[in-house]
Structure 1
Amino acid sequence: MNPTMKDTQSLAKALAAYITPYTQDLVTLLSLVPVVSVILWYIVSYFQSPLKKYPGPPLAAWTNYWRMYHAYKGSMHVITKEMHNKYGPVVRMGPNYLDIDCSSLIKTCFDRNGVWKKSELYAVTGVLHNGKITYNIFSETDSAEFIRMKKPIAKHFSTSAVLPFQRHIDSVLAHFVRKIDERYGSMGDEETGIFDFGKWMHYLAWDMVGKVTYGRRIGYLDYGYDFDGTLSKAEKAVDYAVTIGMQPKLDSLLDKNHLYRIGPPTMLSLVNLSVQHLMRRYTGGDQHDGKLDFLDRYIKAKAENPDVVDDDRLLSYLLVNMAAGADTVAATLRTIFYLCLRHPAAWARLEDEVLSAPFAQQGTMDLPVSFAQARALPYLEAVVRESLRLWPGNCFSMERYVPAGGITLPDRSFVPEGVLLGFNAWVMHRNTTTWGQDAEAFRPERWLRDEAGGETEGEYRGRLTEMNNNDLSFGGGLRKCIGQNIGLLEVYKTVATLVALYEFELLDPDKEWTIRTSLFPRQSGFEIKMRRRPGMEMTEGVGLDE
């Protein structure tokens, strides 16, 4: 007898009732497979990792989100130092990452041939434009491509090549002096001469870099605030890079998402400014002062190297000038004045040296101070070196991949190819083995010969060489900061000129500044009182074209 439709339906219901519990269990089981797989992958990776022998915070061995959290909080430099204090010179701070505090590895890992390649942290600062990711001389991780990018412009950053830019810096320094005198009073008293020094060093640095790059100031000294929002956007872009750079694969889902971008605010105002100056320079409509600037040199590099430098590459050079050059100079200037003013003996010695120099004497006054005049001051040199040691422009670990063949660490342990090693200058510059038991202290005298202690010239030269070899203020090797010389030019001239012109005093000598580190250190929260020194006037720069 053939089954009826009713019989079929009844059978189906019975069968469904029978297998439903098993089906539900199967669905549940299948849904757990990805979760269990991930957990098993982490467990296997952890126990099979060649890095499991190295000490470190337990969570960091399992995930990079530990580092991401501290990067987001702006405290990576502090937590890294704490980890080294606790665990020693080699600390596992990621599943595939070791942070290193061994100065003997600097020369090896920061090689001049680019064998030790940058990590994807740097690539996060690349730009997605028209469906293509463009890298610059900072973000490019491929050493051969970096060399290709750098070669057309490298000659323009030598010490002799940047000296002609002094006239641009003189002009901006003169403008800074005028604006400070107008806003806060040239003589200063209890009501005037008091201002947020950290902010104004930021404005000064950005306008100086704008002047040497485009031949024009950006305008922050005129407005006295972040009038176009670029400074805030630049900070957020760097914060994004160092945070997401701890887990770089996330960048493809966020800032480099081809379908819908989720990232930091773009620095469109700075991009537009660069484009405008470039187009006007091409057409002769750029109203700059006619003195040679980086834009002129980059246009020349394009003409000489058309196979490497197109307009996009030229614009990337301009943006790196601005985004990397200004913040590091600002941080260094803030550090120098704050640390010296917090150490009265150091400040008094710096003042005495500057005010005793020929350029500060009545009848021979020569301000702004030239680079040669500033570099002739040994204590100023020591102050700059010591400030950069304690607060280098980059307070984040510089990451490099172990190349083929691996490396044997000083403790004789072996690290295989593909592992990331990080070197934090802020941490390594506080290593007591290298820098002495007072490595945490601000003591510019460490950079000078200790004649009172009987140190011979030969002993001093040997000690200085050792300090130079362990100095990572500007990085090292092939990827050493290309803008080091122009940055130092700005710093030396600014410090010598302002010390000659003004008396300085911290508004609250007992108040600590506030510091947040991203890629660059950001110091804030210290106000100063500035008064013009009697008879001290700017003798050059005031009448220069703006």
Structure 2
Amino acid sequence: MLPFAFVALCLALAITREWLISRRRYKNIPGPFLSRYTSIPLAFHSRGGKRHLYVHSLHQKYGPLVLIAPRHISCSHPDAINVVYAQGEHALPKSDFYKAFVVDGTPNLFNTQDRTEHTKRRKALAHPLSYKSVKEMEEWIAGNMLKLIKNLDRKCESKTGPTSQLTSRTTTTTRTNGVPLGAETPGRASGSEEKEVEGDCPVNMHAWFNCFTFDVISDLAFGQSLGMLDRGTDVLPDSSSSSSRGNPYGQENRTGVAAMIGLRGRAAAFLGLFPPLVGFGKTGMCIRWMLLHFWPDPLIRKGLSSSDMLSDIATKCVRKRMASTNDDNETIRDDLLHRLLTELRKSEKPDQFIDDIKEPEPLNERVVVTEAMLLLTAGSDTTADSAAAILWYILAQPAVHQRLIEELDENVGVLAHDLAAADELPKHDQVKSLPYLTATIQEALRMFATNAFGLPRVVSDFSKPVTLMGTSIPPGTELSVPAYTIQRDRDVWGEDAYEFKPERWLSEDEASEVLKGKDEVKKADPKYLLTFGAGPRMCIGKNLATMQLHLLIATILLRYKLELYDPHKDLEAVEGFMNKPVEVLVKIARR
């Protein structure tokens, strides 16, 4: 009884403290009553995978400035982008929310809060992920693209979905990004669900896009493909996926890598709202152990376990690669990992590159692993999610689909019936500047924000004074700009902001040719598209992601006749840290 009373007293004191602070600092900021004193309402919707929709509804009700949690203001006014994600001396640091994404106490480029460390890490990754560097690795992307095409060709020949999805009763077991049907329901974040399908089995393009992007990134970031396209699944062999720290749910769960990333993101997005639950050192390890084994919500426990397993996968791959690079008889492979190692050595030990030293000092393994893990989780998962959403929007609009086919046929040409080599596939130089393809991709990324809720920053004691819409923001306040809401703002995009119209991204001459007398659309402004973030913490993998999206969408449309399996069904999504399509089922045949 005494421990319960003590906990109740501590909770009461914490709520009273937040009430006093909120009453004094944020009395002029509207928002839900409970959100002034606790993060529980925001956490509830985050746990349910719909945080961005909840925040959007608050802005619809209260206006552009809303207090969505104690000391956390969301601002949906377009001018807030340049304030919250400012450059230079006005740049705001990342909040404690990002501590939940740190693995084993070693921050990476994404989650580090230290500006000096971020500058050093970004400099190390800038060259390997520059367009010139990424372009030199196009052959590895093409090699995996050929594997994807061979798999999809077999589906066309058999008129079925993936072999692993068939039963003797033409029942499909649909694995969608590791997220099953009904994943929008809180707690349904892993596993599979069977459903009856009459006639031909649909192909889940999202699942295949996952296999493709994971193999591409693992090929570049680990020096070896994870072999998902070879196996037709994102579930790794037991020897690769087992965690040395143990899996509380057992290997029979057979969780795919995409599911691990989704679970990790959902758990971190939830725990990040309660920084005291996230710590490092001995205390942090103790808290984490308690959460992993005793937290009542299985989603959080699975998310923490998945994070451990992903870290172990990255560690094994990096160790194997670094061991091979130390072998004098091994030819060094000039891929992304090699370039990353070179740049990290320069940033860690710059003097050794001034002198003519043949054997540089070894790098901190955890630094390499955490950056490689970032490439795996952020560089593959989000690209597959975006590609799946883009394809859905294209197929949901037959006129857009047809115009894309015409543009691709005219500029690239029909692909050979029997593709024998990767160099027979479309090249990025052929598709990167196609106006309607680029416009369609941009518009789909606007409609489906993979990073849908606002990424938080904090006004620190050392920050320059911050003012939003005439309101002075006190130090200690978290600020965020919700991408989903900004990308549907009618003042920015026009009255048709909720409609999918690629024409808004075309030049005036190109748009008039496409519209041909139809209602004009307001020209899009790229600075309000937050797909890759904004400011100094903007996604550094934009070049690699953009190249894959252009190549993937162009190749798939050139190669296949595609239709949505259920054209009357909307695109369902579930949000963890990133917003993910649940599935994209299509009927597929060769052109």
TM-score bracket, shorter-length normalisation:
0.7 to 0.9
- Corresponding residue for residue 408 of structure 2: 354
Question: Do residues 479 (structure 1) and 547 (structure 2) align?
Answer: no
- Corresponding residue for residue 149 of structure 1: 121
Q: Give 1:432 deviation, angstroms.
A: 0.8
In structure 2, the CA distance between the partners of 1:300 and 1:471, relative to structure 1 (3 Å rule), is same
CA distance in 1 between counterparts of 2:42 and 2:526 reads: 30
Note if contact 1:188-1:530 (Cα within 8 Å) is conserved in structure 2: no
Q: Give 1:62 deviation, angstroms.
A: 1.2
TM alignment of 1:101-500, pairs within 5 A:
101-113=76-88, 115-128=91-104, 133-185=105-157, 194-228=202-236, 229=255, 230-252=257-279, 256-258=284-286, 261=289, 262-263=291-292, 264-265=304-305, 266=308, 267=310, 268-283=312-327, 292-307=334-349, 310-360=364-414, 367-403=424-460, 404-410=463-469, 412-451=470-509, 467-500=525-558
Q: Give 1:302 deviation, angstroms.
A: 3.8
In structure 2, the CA distance between the partners of 1:31 and 1:144, relative to structure 1 (3 Å rule), is closer
- CA RMSD of the aligned region, Å? 3.0
CA distance in 2 between counterparts of 1:379 and 1:255 reads: 54
CA distance in 1 between counterparts of 2:202 and 2:283 reads: 41
CA distance in 1 between counterparts of 2:405 and 2:20 reads: 62
For the residue of structure 2 that corresponds to 1:504, the secondary structure is: strand
Note if contact 2:18-2:70 (Cα within 8 Å) is conserved in structure 1: no
Note if contact 1:396-1:424 (Cα within 8 Å) is conserved in structure 2: yes
Q: Give 1:381 deviation, angstroms.
A: 0.4
Q: Give 1:192 deviation, angstroms.
A: 5.4
Q: TM-score, normalised by structure 1?
A: 0.83
1:397-424 per-position Cα deviation (integer Å, ceiling 9, x unaligned): 11111253432222x2221222111112
Note if contact 2:221-2:372 (Cα within 8 Å) is conserved in structure 1: yes
**Can you give the 5+ residue segments of structure 2 that lack an aligned partner in the other structure?**
162-197, 237-254, 293-303, 351-362, 514-521
CA distance in 2 between counterparts of 1:368 and 1:521 reads: 30
In structure 2, the CA distance between the partners of 1:43 and 1:216, relative to structure 1 (3 Å rule), is closer
Note if contact 2:160-2:203 (Cα within 8 Å) is conserved in structure 1: no
In structure 2, the CA distance between the partners of 1:454 and 1:182, relative to structure 1 (3 Å rule), is closer
Note if contact 2:439-2:505 (Cα within 8 Å) is conserved in structure 1: yes
For the residue of structure 2 that corresponds to 1:227, the secondary structure is: coil
Residue identity in the other structure for 1:435? W
Note if contact 1:193-1:531 (Cα within 8 Å) is conserved in structure 2: no
Residue identity in the other structure for 2:364? D
- In the comparison of the two structures, how many residue pairs are matched? 491
- Corresponding residue for residue 543 of structure 1: none
- Corresponding residue for residue 15 of structure 1: none
Residue identity in the other structure for 1:496? A
Residue identity in the other structure for 2:559? L
CA distance in 2 between counterparts of 1:82 and 1:379 reads: 32
Q: Give 1:172 deviation, angstroms.
A: 0.3
Note if contact 2:223-2:321 (Cα within 8 Å) is conserved in structure 1: no
**Can you give the 5+ residue segments of structure 1 that lack an aligned partner in the other structure?**
1-26, 456-462, 534-546
Q: Give 1:31 deviation, angstroms.
A: 9.8
1:469-501 per-position Cα deviation (integer Å, ceiling 9, x unaligned): 212110111100010000111110111111111
Question: Do residues 46 (structure 1) and 22 (structure 2) align?
Answer: yes
Q: Give 1:30 deviation, angstroms.
A: 9.6
- The runs of 4+ residues in structure 1 deviating greater than 4 Å are 27-36, 186-193, 284-287, 452-455
Q: TM-score, normalised by structure 2?
A: 0.77
Q: 1:71 aligns with which of 41, 46, 58?
A: 46
Q: Which moved more, 1:513-522 or 1:476-485?
A: 513-522
For the residue of structure 2 that corresponds to 1:474, the secondary structure is: coil
CA distance in 2 between counterparts of 1:340 and 1:498 reads: 12
Note if contact 2:412-2:431 (Cα within 8 Å) is conserved in structure 1: no
